[in-house]
Structure 1
Amino acid sequence: MPRILPPLLLISDDRVLADQARQLLTYNALECTVLTTSSDCSKAPLCRWLKDAPLNHSGRVHALLGEAVEVLERTRHAFRSSELGRLRKRLEQALGELPPPDD
C-alpha cells in the first residue's frame, strides 16, 4: 500500500529567509507552501503557526473538525469506506453550520 505523505509546509517569520527558500524550492521543482505570516495560511484565522495566542473553545472545535475532514479526505482512497465518506460529509456539514470562531 502506498504511503500518503502530508504536503510540505515551511514556516518562517523571517521574510528574507522565506523568499530564499521559495526560490530554492522553485528552482528544484519541489512543491512546498511557505508561510511568513498567519494571513498566508489557507486556514486563517484558525492558523496559529505564527501566532502565540491559544485557540478558544470555538476555535479548537473548528480546528479539530477541519483536521478530521482533512485526514478523511487524504485517506479516502486508502480505505475506500462508504461509512468514512458519509462521516466526512457530515463533519464538513457540521463545520459549515458552526458559527465562525472568535479570536
Structure 2
Amino acid sequence: LEKDGYPVVAVANPLRGVKNDAGYVADILGSIKSPVVLVGHSYGGSVISEAADGHATVKALVYVAAFAPDAGETAAQLAGKFPGSSLGPTLAPPVTLSSGGK
C-alpha cells in the first residue's frame, strides 16, 4: 500500500476487551485527519466495528476472516451463532479482575 502512495498505520491491539481496545484504536483515529479504511482480522473485526463509531474519517471497514458483529452483538454471541463453530467450547472461563471486571 505504501509503495502505491497510501499511508499505513498498524495499530497494536492491547487485547484488553472490545470496549477498551476499540477506545484505544478510536484515540488513534482521532489523530488521523485523512480518510481511513480500517482493517480487522478475527477478534479485530469487533474492535474496528466499535472504534469506527462516530469517526467521520472512517470510510470503510474491511473484515479479514473476522467477526463482523451487528450493533450490540458480542464476539461470544457470534462464535455460537452458526453451526460448526468450535470457538465457544475452547474458550477458558472469564477471569475476575481485582477491579471487578472480567
Q: TM-score w.r.t. structure 1 length?
A: 0.25
Task: Please state which structure has a larger fraction of its residues in strand.
Answer: 2
The structure whose Rg is larger is: 1
